[in-house]
Amino acid sequence: MKRVSLLLVMTLSLMASNMNAQQSGNYFVGKWEIVMQDTPQGDIKMTMNIDRNEGKLEATLMMSVETKIVNIKETEKSITLPFSTPDGYDIDIYIEKVDDDNVKGVVADMIDLKGQRVKE
């Protein structure tokens, strides 16, 4: 009987830790208001929608044009989005978790950004 109880407790613990891992893996999924700070053109605001499709993150940036981003590199607390500008420059947008609804990061290793989750 002790073995059955121990096995049950271990199984439930594994299930709970797996559920937590799935929830933390979806932190970046959703709609975000992002501000690139102190660019030569001033602060630039954009909206970013992040979805998970077949286990991988995909993002859509909405500024003057809408841009889809795939091949997002993901860790538990950050994402890196490879992005091509309309001028043809390839840059990375690095974003990391600050708290439940806020992120910070850097664009092209030069421009700081901050963002806030849009709650609908």
Is residue 70, in this structure, part of any structural domain at all?
A: yes
User: What pLDDT is attached to residue 51?
Assistant: 95
Query: Domain residues for 68?
Result: 28-117
Q: How many domains does the chain have?
A: 1
CA 84 – CA 95 distance, rounded (Å) = 16
Is residue 71, in this structure, part of any structural domain at all?
A: yes
pLDDT digits 0-9 by tens, 16-42:
443 333 344 789 999 999 999 998 889
CA 87 – CA 62 distance, rounded (Å) = 16
* pTM of structure: 0.75
Is residue 78, in this structure, part of any structural domain at all?
A: yes
Is residue 12, in this structure, part of any structural domain at all?
A: no
Q: Which CATH number does the domain housing residue 56 bear?
A: 2.40.128.120
Residues of the chain with pLDDT under 50: 1-2, 4-24
Is residue 74, in this structure, part of any structural domain at all?
A: yes
